[in-house]
Amino acid sequence: MRSVHVGIGPVTLSDVVAVGRDGAAVELTEEALVGIARARRVIEDLAAAPTPSYGVSTGFGALATRHIPPERRRDLQRSLVRSHAAGSGPEVEREVVRAMMLLRLSTLATGRTGVRPETAQLLADLLTHGITPVVHEYGSLGCSGDLSPLAHCALALLGEGEVRDSAGVLRPAADALAAAGLAPVELAEKEGLALINGTDGMLGMLLLALHDLRMLLRTADVTTAMSVEAQLGTDRVFAEELQALRPHPGQAASAANLRVLLADSGVVASHRGPDCNRVQDAYSLRCAPQVHGAARDTVEHAAGVAGRELASAIDNPVVLLAADGSGRVESNGNFHGAPVGYVLDFLAIAVADVASMAERRTDRFLDRTRSHGLPPFLADDPGVDSGLMIAQYTQAGIVSELKRLAVPASVDSIPSSAMQEDHVSMGWAAGRKLRRAVDGLTRVLAIEAMAAARAVELRGTLGSTRGVSPSPAAGAVVRLLHEAGVAGPGPDRRLSPEIEACVELVRTGAVLAAAESVVGELG
């Protein structure tokens, strides 16, 4: 099993995917443990001082003016976690919870939060043993960070609440800890606040989405190339000299992919030449690099924001350390989720647009007036058979949903905590809807792949393209779909299992890998 080392520096996107999705173990570095202990000494000095210090010897939020006596401070931390574990609704996905836990641990490891080393170590141990707290869909306003989701994670450190063990079985946290040989902690001053006051949930969802979208946008180039080929479109519009006239980096990369994917296509070659008048393909074909490229550039902008957030130490208050080892605690507003919330919403817009264009390409296959000789609905016996008619309905329904999901969450704010928290980010909600949007894009591309593959096969039996070979990339994807049980042209059959098979091939990157196996790695 891979082990991810968490030190005083940021973890990477690949670390988050490895721990969140692949179940990698987690180890705190010695440097991190030393830094954690150093910050803890600052907290202990402040706790012993007669002057109240926010988060250490006071209440929180609107209750920050109350000084808490030493004998009640452990009660304060425990009460904070218990009361903030107020989520409702369905369970959040395991990969999101694990990503959130890793990111919170990474902030603890910076030595800016003041937790004890044993508390941070137990969080790492939960990840290594595959113990995943139950976190609920609703509860976070994205300010002060993802309070409720993180509180459900912190509750497990106390041996309270419910968790999923490494086998996915729902168990009381105390039982799961005991089975793993772990003991719960009793939180000391500042620790409860340090465990829950961060943007780790929304950031975790952003990082997982970035990982998926980088693959899906290359997959969109693959399905687009198949559609251009099967609809007898031209590849001339993707020429490098044309793309260079508008030098957006994403557009250049997408067009380069399309040139590679369409190379050596017998179908494209069959109508390429001086008499070819196919220079005005529909926008869904001709403008694919412009839309896919804009989406790629949006992803990279979001990745820049994510990189800065990964390098952040987000807590309130934070421990500021001097070179001589002394330190102080200062309140701040770094927990506000606006930077992450904005790009989560921005990505949902790009996802909806890429999917909308893919659905339009699919629809062209089904309309005999626009498909250049393909049978209506790609049906075997049109009238008796409906072909892929309703598969496009499924696509259209998803695209409509994606447009609703593209409405930004981050423009909303509902005041909370007796108006102390009078402006919030809704970043968690933006992350939740982006996850649904990424799933929708996956399904839309899967249906385009199914339609394009069927059309590619039909081209080999029709008119001027009879017996002409498709591009190597399209051929590889067609073979992959057949191997997965997605049959080619023929009489009607139940489509749902074939659609789901295509969805899995797109989701896992198998469609992309099939194309890349013959053309090399796409940009």
- Residues with active-site annotation: 54
> Do residues 294 and 230 make contact, with C-beta atoms less than 8 angstroms apart?
no
Tell me the C-alpha distance between 310 and 196, whole Å: 16
Tell me the C-alpha distance between 292 and 215, whole Å: 12
The string of DSSP letters for 185-236 reads: ----TTHHHHHH-SSHHHHHHHHHHHHHHHHHHHHHHHHHHHHHHHTT--SG
* 395 Cβ neighbours under 8 A, 6+ residues apart: 358, 359, 362, 443, 444, 447, 448
Tell me the C-alpha distance between 106 and 28, whole Å: 9
Encoded tokens for 446: 């899967």
Q: What's the chain's length in residues? A: 523
> Do residues 127 and 101 make contact, with C-beta atoms less than 8 angstroms apart?
yes
> Do residues 200 and 104 make contact, with C-beta atoms less than 8 angstroms apart?
yes
What H or E segment, with its residue span, contains residue 346?
Answer: helix 338-366
> Do residues 282 and 369 make contact, with C-beta atoms less than 8 angstroms apart?
no
Q: Is 164 helix (H, G, I), strand (E, B) or coil?
A: strand
Q: Residue 454 is which amino acid? A: R
